[in-house]
């Protein structure tokens, strides 16, 4: 970890690995999810948008190549140079036959100045055949897998319509790591009725599962989701900005120094976001988090305790 930083950021990780800025290009490869098509259930995870958490991804009616060049052009206004990572973001990106997946991944890997691929998926949608494919792609280009975990509280997971038990997550991480594939876990902070203890239990569970990186995502209530309907009726507590900043710092204190922090807040589509509105000022939130680290004179791993056999 860079001594100037209070936590091990993705920017630092990628600069060390590729000696350049890495620009993520989110794409929609046209998949769906087993909690949407009836294999497990319908409706998807209750927090997930109609675009399968791919609200900022490209147009699914276009090829990966077409999406790449369109998104690259948009991002060139912010970043003038760098290497690219294709981020298979929307829906479940291992939820297809291996031939279809191989074609999508290889198309992405062949694009100009692309040095990495990130595959967002579910741990119950990765079997041995898919792991073999991921290993094959990873031998040609850097590939990491992002697993939607959200919480270690099984009761909350059922409420979210996650559709799998914690042991499925652990088993998937183990198999991916046995094949030298980097794994990033997605965790949501501020889920309905979860306490600080619940959140820190999730952080501990994820930290000791064998993952390489983590995304800490603020709960967003988005229009046209089951969660929005629940919130309309129940009005459960939404974290204030200060509550969120404080718990994020505690979460990072409980993560070991080697785990890469790929996200500490998140972006909600302005047109869909119902709550929390304060999250729209992302720069202020990030500044407040960094300021709190300095004020507390703390850092990633300050409270980490290794646990064997989570």
Q: How many domains does the chain have?
A: 1
Range of the domain at 274: 10-296
Reduce the DSSP state of residue 68 to 3 states and report it: helix
Asked whether 13 and 75 are in contact (CB, 8 A), the reply is no
Residue 308 lies inside a defined structural domain of this protein = no
Q: Is residue 309 part of a domain?
A: no
In a domain, 157, yes or no: yes
Determine whether 69 is exposed, middle or buried from the number of CB atoms within 10 Å of its CB (0-12, 13-18, 19+).
Answer: middle
Query: What CA–CA distance (Å, rounded) separates 121 from 104?
Result: 14
Give the span between the Cα atoms of 300 and 297, in whole angstroms.
11
pTM summary value = 0.95
Residue 160: how many other CB atoms lie within 10 Å: 23
Which residue, 79, 90, 101, 117, is CA-closest to 32? 90
Is residue 301 assigned to a domain? no
Residue 302 lies in a domain: no
Q: Is residue 254 part of a domain?
A: yes
* 236 within some domain: yes
Q: Are 22 and 14 in contact (CB under 8 A)?
A: yes
Q: Does the N-terminal peptide bond of residue 276 adopt cis geometry, omega within 30 degrees of 0? A: yes
Strands 182-189 and 142-150: parallel
CA 12, 18, 21 angle in degrees (round to 5)?
60
Q: For residue 214, which phi and psi values (nearest 5 degrees)?
A: -145, 145
- pLDDT tens string for the chain (310 positions)? 544 689 999 999 999 999 999 999 999 999 999 999 999 999 999 999 998 887 788 899 999 999 999 999 988 888 878 999 999 999 999 999 999 999 999 999 999 999 999 999 999 999 999 999 999 999 999 999 999 999 999 999 999 999 999 999 999 999 999 999 999 999 999 999 999 999 999 999 999 999 999 999 999 999 999 999 999 999 999 999 999 999 999 999 999 999 999 999 988 788 899 999 999 999 999 999 999 999 999 999 999 987 765 6
CATH at 15: 3.20.20.70
- Is 304 contained in some domain? no
């Amino acid at each position: 970890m860079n001594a100037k930083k209070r936590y091990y950021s993705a920017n630092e990780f990628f600069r060390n690995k590729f000696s350049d800025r890495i620009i993520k290009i989110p794409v929609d490869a046209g998949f769906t999810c087993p909690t949407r098509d009836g294999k497990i259930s319908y409706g998807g995870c209750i927090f997930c948008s109609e675009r399968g958490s791919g609200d900022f991804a490209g147009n699914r009616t276009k090829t990966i190549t077409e999406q790449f060049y369109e998104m690259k052009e948009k991002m060139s206004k912010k970043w003038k140079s760098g290497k690219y990572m294709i981020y298979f973001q929307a829906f479940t990106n291992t939820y297809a036959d291996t031939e279809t997946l191989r074609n999508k991944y290889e198309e992405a890997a062949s694009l100009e100045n692309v040095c990495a691929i990130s595959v967002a998926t579910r741990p119950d949608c990765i079997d041995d055949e898919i792991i073999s494919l991921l290993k094959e792609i990873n031998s040609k280009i850097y590939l990491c897998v992002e697993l939607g975990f959200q919480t270690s509280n099984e009761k909350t997971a059922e409420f979210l319509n996650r559709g799998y038990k914690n042991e499925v997550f652990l088993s998937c991480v183990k198999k991916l790591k046995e094949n030298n594939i980097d794994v990033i876990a997605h965790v949501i902070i501020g889920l309905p009725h979860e306490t600080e203890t619940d959140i820190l239990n999730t952080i501990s569970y994820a930290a000791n599962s064998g993952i390489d990186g983590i995304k800490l995502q603020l709960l967003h209530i988005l229009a046209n989701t089951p969660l929005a309907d629940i919130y309309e009726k129940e009005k459960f507590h939404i974290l204030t900005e200060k509550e969120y900043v404080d718990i994020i710092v505690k979460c990072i204190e409980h993560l070991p120094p080697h785990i890469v922090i790929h996200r500490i807040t998140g972006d909600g589509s302005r047109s869909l976001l119902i709550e929390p509105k304060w999250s729209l000022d992302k720069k202020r939130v990030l500044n407040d988090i960094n300021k709190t680290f300095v004020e507390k004179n703390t850092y990633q791993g300050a409270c980490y305790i290794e646990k064997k056999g989570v």
